């Protein structure tokens, strides 16, 4: 079993690389798309799904590759990790997410410190975030129960799909949401929309935890 220090380092570094890919590909996609927003979104979507597969494969054996506080919250509710580990993971994920955004800014010669002006607000966006988080957790638990080796690929594919079928483009992650509020680029979200997104993500994750416990019960959920 890796030490807690190694687990936290894996969560921080993995989340940082995830955000560098999300924000960096958003910047690159927008620059190359010539004003075609759909093409820019596609350029943002594919690298995000691809990097998730890679990160889960390399860091899964170390920390479980959560990279997401609502995933860690769900695991704590199912007693797969302790509440102390949940708190530590969440802090590492948030710190890594912010570092990843800053790294993307540096790569593209942008000011490191920014605040997003992209408004993402409204019932449709909130419902989309709840559904995005719900589907993400179901994907994880379904694969853990039936096809453990497919988790990385299924999560990557789910996020690629959810970028396009949700109105919010599937943040589904509080650490990602907070960090993207610090980037006034294609992937950003204005700070005014962050809290509602996070609440919706938590609601979706809690619902998925309950449904997963019914479909694929463990000793903790029976």
Structure tokens at 48: 């995000």
Asked if pLDDT for residue 220 goes beyond 90, the answer is: no
Q: Measure the CA–CA gap between 89 and 38, rounded to whole angstroms.
A: 34
Between the alpha carbon of residue 124 and those of residues 22, 136, 188, 192, 193, the distances in Å are 22, 18, 18, 16, 13
Question: Is residue 220 included in any domain, yes or no?
Answer: no
- What's the confidence (pLDDT) of residue 70? 98
Whole-prediction pTM: 0.96
Question: Is residue 55 included in any domain, yes or no?
Answer: yes
Question: Is residue 120 included in any domain, yes or no?
Answer: yes
Residue from 208, 70, 56, 194 nearest 135 by CA: 208
Q: What is the domain range of residue 104?
A: 4-215
Q: Count CB atoms within 10 A of the CB of residue 214.
A: 9
210 confidence band (pLDDT: 50, 70, 90): very high
pLDDT in tens, 108-145: 999 999 999 999 999 999 999 999 999 999 999 999 99
222 confidence band (pLDDT: 50, 70, 90): low
Alpha helices (H) along the chain? 4-32, 37-63, 69-77, 83-107, 123-146, 151-165, 174-180, 194-215
Question: Is residue 192 included in any domain, yes or no?
Answer: yes
CATH of the domain at 69: 1.20.1080.10
Number of domains into which the chain is organized: 1
Asked if pLDDT for residue 7 goes beyond 90, the answer is: yes
Question: Is residue 222 included in any domain, yes or no?
Answer: no
Question: Is residue 51 included in any domain, yes or no?
Answer: yes
Q: Measure the CA–CA gap between 151 and 174, rounded to whole angstroms.
A: 21
């Amino acid at each position: 079993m890796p030490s807690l220090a190694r687990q936290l380092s894996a969560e921080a570094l993995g989340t940082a690389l995830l955000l560098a890919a999300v924000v960096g590909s958003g910047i690159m996609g927008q620059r190359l798309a010539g004003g075609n927003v759909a093409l820019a979104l596609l350029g943002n979507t594919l690298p995000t799904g691809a990097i998730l597969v890679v990160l889960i494969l390399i860091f899964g054996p170390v920390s479980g590759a959560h990279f997401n506080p609502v995933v860690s919250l769900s695991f704590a509710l199912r007693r797969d990790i302790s509440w102390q580990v949940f708190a530590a993971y969440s802090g590492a994920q948030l710190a890594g997410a912010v570092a990843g955004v800053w790294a993307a800014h540096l790569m593209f010669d942008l000011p490191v410190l920014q605040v997003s002006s992209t408004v993402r607000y409204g019932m449709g966006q909130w419902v989309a975030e709840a559904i995005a988080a719900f589907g993400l957790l179901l994907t994880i638990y379904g694969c853990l129960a039936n096809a453990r080796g497919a988790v990385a690929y299924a999560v990557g594919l789910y996020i690629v799909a959810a970028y396009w079928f949700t109105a919010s483009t599937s943040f589904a992650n509080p650490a990602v949401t907070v960090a993207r509020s610090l980037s006034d680029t294609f992937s950003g979200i204005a700070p005014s929309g962050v809290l509602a997104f996070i609440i919706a993500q938590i609601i979706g994750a809690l619902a998925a935890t309950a449904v997963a416990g019914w479909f694929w019960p463990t000793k903790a959920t029976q």
